[in-house]
Structure 1
Amino acid sequence: MDLILRTAGALLGTELSDPVDLGGSRRSSVLRCRTAAGGTVVVKAFGREPEALRSFASEAAALSLGAGPALLGVDPDTPLLVMEDLGAAPTLADVLLGDDPKAATDGLLAWAGALGRLAAGSVTGHADFTRLAARFDQGVPSGPDDPWIERCTAGLPALLAQSGVDVPPDLADELARIGAAARDRCPAFTPGDTCPDNNLLTADGLRLIDFESATFQSVFLTAAYCRMPFSTCWCVFRLPADLARKVEQTYRAEVAAVYPELAEDPVWQAGLRAAIALWTVHGTVYLLPHAGEDRPMHRSRRPVPTVRQLLRHRWETARTLTEFPALARTMELLLDGLARDWQTAPLPEYPAFRNRGPREPGEGGGAP
């Protein structure tokens, strides 16, 4: 702690004190610190493990581009970042898990719009991000250089076999096609981990935080967060179908302004469904090894889905992706095999929308 405060203080030319732990993760520690002048800043110090070093390089590059809170200082040797303090605002997760449907609706639409504007404004900045990522490189592949798609698509068949699931013979080839389809089309910048708790609802509007997974990737991979929803997150329940469409369209309208082909429904649907397929593979590879005990998706937040609830929801969605028959068949096998024995309750809507009153005629009860 003393080293972090001294190093961060030296970057700012002031003494820092009274650190308050803001949570962080296994990769980083996040502290709100008081300056000698009485203000506050946020210090984010990273570990030395490969995943932490990868996260540092991505976040330092993203904040240097002006993508999030103002960057006040960087020390690549510690490594740590000092950034502006956005205050103790509620997160999007707070309102989704609350009881105010209007606050949750407004928050979701603000999130989708901010995410879309960030992507649309970035399409000419790929070279700048690459240059900055190289500047802060810690010797670990980050961003577009991290072959996470190949790891997931190559890892699923082996995981299924270990779990006693019959692997369709053409699954591996189909997964390779899914990965290729989802990788590079219409690239744009994204914070990467655009989950509800990484978005602050401040008095000045929604602010995106946490750029540890920042990268340039296909806009479809980001758009999938609107529909699934939240492809890699713990705060996942169902969205009302009408709201899910509005959230998705809000993001789509922003990115279609710079990629006009995204206004064409066949293009949009094909790209988005391939992205959903890929994120389902990713979630299965990551979560299935932890499904032996049906633990909550977050160690302390409640309510949250369980691991099995979330997997079942993802598999139910992906089995409708009939353009990928081997994957759809795999989802059926998982649902009829593993999930049938789990006796897991279906994933409900977000708490904020569970008591929102009468619905419009023909309005669906939840978005897949």
Structure 2
Amino acid sequence: MNEILRAAERLLTTPLHDAVDLGGSSRTTVLRCRTGDGRSVVVKAYTGGPDALRGFTAEAAGLALGLAGPPLLGVDPEAPLVVLEDFGGAPTLADLLLGDDPAAAEEGLLTWAAGLGRLAARSVDRQADLARLWARYDRGMPTWADEPWTARNATAFPGVLEEAGVAVPDGLAEELARIGTAGGEEYPAFTPGDTCPDNNLLTPQGLRLIDFEAACYQSVFLTAAYCRMPFSTCWCVFALPAGLAPRIEAAYRAEVVPVYPALADDAVWEDGMRQAVAVWTVDATVRLLPRAAEDGPMHRTRRPVPTRRQVLGHRWEEAARLAGLPAFAEAMRRLSRDVADGWRVDPLPGYPCFEPGRTGHGG
């Protein structure tokens, strides 16, 4: 911690004190500090592994783009670390969803979706700018847009099925190849990357996004799928009340249609959303199924939280209904029948804030 503080002090040319460890991750150390003139800043330092170095470059470049996130006060590519303006201790969207105020949670979800849509719309002509910023802070790792993670997952998926004792449907590989990046070439937009509930602060000034370690340009459908599924890659996954997911998705879509008018066509939108849901469901299966031999919580410390098996069972059940992808839907049905049914876990519960009897301030 002392080494990180000294590097940040050299960068800001001011002493830092009262450092508080905000948790970070295996890739980062995150500290809240006071400057000599009493301002609160956040120092985020990265370890030397490949994922951490990519995260540093993505965060520095994504924040320097200036479209969203805390203002960037300084960047040290050698340490590597960034210093950010502190947004303070506002509640996150995860706090609301795990809380007891359904009206606040619903408003938070709609604010989150519309905010992501506005960010996407503002970004469509800034892709070259992000590329230049990435080159400025490059530590030798490809961008997430250049990382072939969808293709790698598609290649790994049949083997994951076979390892679980599930027969691979005919035509599955061809369908996954056709899905590709779910429209990333036609409808790209900027995203912080990890738009999960705990990375979205709901402040008196509105939505504030944090964590740009996976910032990149990707298909708007891959971001919109977080509204429909919900939260494609996150730990804070519970079932939404009937009818709420379409409203959240519509809030995002309304913001991107003006810059991509073709997305007003329901057929175009639904085709892209089907592909995106499939991409994220494959990703969840490849990441989580090998770890589901022994079930466990989706988050190390937060409670309540679903288990890996509950999330996978829910993802497979929902994806089995996808139209236009018959081999993929059949793979989902086989996973549900041959794997999830044998787990005998409770279905994915609803978000705590929407449980019966919780009326909150707006009920």
User: Does TM-score exceed 0.5, indicating one fold?
Assistant: yes
Counterpart of 2:14 in structure 1 is 14
Secondary structure of the corresponding residue to residue 194 of structure 2: coil
Secondary structure of the corresponding residue to residue 144 of structure 1: coil
Look up the equivalent residue of 1:36 and give its one-letter code.
G
Counterpart of 2:304 in structure 1 is 303
Counterpart of 1:104 in structure 2 is 105
Look up the equivalent residue of 1:270 and give its one-letter code.
D
The percent of aligned pairs where both chains have the same amino acid is: 62
Confirm or deny: 8 A CA contact 1:185 1:219 kept in the other structure: no
Counterpart of 2:341 in structure 1 is 340
Q: Aligned equivalents of 1:202 and 1:183: distance in 2?
A: 31
Confirm or deny: 8 A CA contact 1:92 1:200 kept in the other structure: yes
Structure 1 residues 56-85: Cα deviation after superposition (integer angstroms, max 9, x where no partner): 111100110112100000000010000000
Secondary structure of the corresponding residue to residue 108 of structure 1: helix
Report the CA distance between 1:356 and its aligned residue.
Answer: 5.5
Counterpart of 2:144 in structure 1 is 143
Q: Aligned equivalents of 2:86 and 2:342: distance in 1?
A: 47
Counterpart of 1:26 in structure 2 is 26
Confirm or deny: 8 A CA contact 1:73 1:83 kept in the other structure: yes
Q: Aligned equivalents of 1:295 and 1:357: distance in 2?
A: 28
Q: Aligned equivalents of 1:143 and 1:245: distance in 2?
A: 28
Confirm or deny: 8 A CA contact 2:181 2:219 kept in the other structure: no
Q: Aligned equivalents of 2:293 and 2:201: distance in 1?
A: 34
Report the CA distance between 1:21 and its aligned residue.
Answer: 1.0
Confirm or deny: 8 A CA contact 2:30 2:44 kept in the other structure: yes
Structure 1 residues 140-188: Cα deviation after superposition (integer angstroms, max 9, x where no partner): 1122111111111111011111221111132111111112544323110
Q: For 1:262-301, list aligned pairs within 5 A.
A: 262-301=263-302
Counterpart of 2:44 in structure 1 is 44
Q: Aligned equivalents of 1:255 and 1:127: distance in 2?
A: 19
Structure 1 residues 16-43: Cα deviation after superposition (integer angstroms, max 9, x where no partner): 1121111211111111011111221000
Report the CA distance between 1:253 and its aligned residue.
Answer: 0.3
Counterpart of 2:313 in structure 1 is 312
Structure with the larger RCO, 1 or 2 (CA within 8 Å, 6+ apart): 2
TM-score by length of 1: 0.95
Q: Aligned equivalents of 1:173 and 1:333: distance in 2?
A: 18
Inter-CA distance 135–163: structure 2 relative to 1 (3 Å threshold) = same
Over aligned residues, Cα RMSD in angstroms?
1.2
Counterpart of 2:129 in structure 1 is 128
Q: For 1:39-118, list aligned pairs within 5 A.
A: 39-66=39-66, 67-118=68-119
Inter-CA distance 181–93: structure 2 relative to 1 (3 Å threshold) = closer
Look up the equivalent residue of 1:196 and give its one-letter code.
P
Confirm or deny: 8 A CA contact 1:71 1:82 kept in the other structure: yes
Confirm or deny: 8 A CA contact 1:152 1:285 kept in the other structure: yes
Secondary structure of the corresponding residue to residue 167 of structure 1: coil
Structure 1 residues 101-155: Cα deviation after superposition (integer angstroms, max 9, x where no partner): 0110111111011101100000000000011111111111122111111111111
Secondary structure of the corresponding residue to residue 20 of structure 1: strand
Counterpart of 1:232 in structure 2 is 233
Q: Aligned equivalents of 1:83 and 1:123: distance in 2?
A: 25
Which sits farther off after the overlay, 173-182 or 256-265? 173-182
Structure 1 residues 203-259: Cα deviation after superposition (integer angstroms, max 9, x where no partner): 211101101011101100000000000000000011112221211111000000110
Secondary structure of the corresponding residue to residue 81 of structure 1: strand
TM-score by length of 2: 0.96
Q: Aligned equivalents of 2:17 and 2:193: distance in 1?
A: 31
Q: Aligned equivalents of 1:185 and 1:356: distance in 2?
A: 45
Look up the equivalent residue of 1:41 and give its one-letter code.
V
Q: Aligned equivalents of 2:188 and 2:4: distance in 1?
A: 36
Stretches of structure 1 that go unaligned for 5 or more consecutive residues are 359-368
Q: Aligned equivalents of 1:337 and 1:172: distance in 2?
A: 20
Q: Aligned equivalents of 1:296 and 1:217: distance in 2?
A: 29
Report the CA distance between 1:322 and its aligned residue.
Answer: 3.1
Q: Aligned equivalents of 2:172 and 2:224: distance in 1?
A: 25
Secondary structure of the corresponding residue to residue 293 of structure 1: coil
In the alignment, is residue 178 of structure 1 matched against residue 179 of structure 2? Answer: yes
